[in-house]
Amino acid sequence: MKIEKVLSIVFIISLIFKLMHWPGGSPLMVLSLLILAFCYFPFGFYFFSDKNFKTQNIGISVVFGWLLSISLIGILFKLMFWPGYGPMLLIGTLTAVPLIGVAILLFTKSSDVLKNYYKNLLIRTAVIFLLSLLCFLLPNSVLINYYYSNEPELKELYLKQQENPEDETVQKEIEEYNAKQFTNENEE
């Protein structure tokens, strides 16, 4: 689907922007992954087929779309450093393994009419599985050390926050640091 390809390209561009510290990376990432997740969950039956509802299994499309959207939201939460990414990535990663097995089994046993449908389902599931597995296995400290390498004070605050997310004093220190940086940028 064209929408899927465009959103995937926008996600890749947003990831590059975020890693290069260019403005606009975070909003692009949020928009692209959320829209893609929303496309998969309620409209999985439309996006997984070739716009022909007779050449698909609607129940499988809905289940695959729902579980793949959970993985996409978990990836988004992890890359944006939002809380709650762990359970979503765990569910997405653990359910993608049997989904890949089901897709392979259905692909090998399907008629010629459904071969393309199951192949597309298998490719999407494998790609999202690899992304969610990578995000699940990658510690937040690695992302924080890379992303905030130019700001050692902020990096240390975020690492403290990762160790104890309920500590409100660290959150206040992060807010004060960001406010100080914002006023310094406005004065220049």
pLDDT tens-digit profile, the chain (188 residues): 688 889 999 999 999 999 888 899 999 999 999 999 988 887 766 666 655 555 567 777 778 888 889 999 999 999 998 888 999 999 989 998 998 998 899 888 877 777 877 888 888 889 999 999 999 999 989 999 998 888 899 899 989 988 888 888 988 998 898 888 888 777 76
Helix axes 152-163, 168-187, angle to 10 degrees: 160
pLDDT at position 134: 94
pLDDT at position 53: 55
pLDDT at position 62: 79
pLDDT at position 83: 83
> In this structure, how many other beta carbons lie within 10 angstroms of the beta carbon of residue 170?
19
Question: What gap in Å lies between CA 117 and CA 139, rounded to an integer?
Answer: 35
pLDDT at position 7: 92
pLDDT at position 133: 94
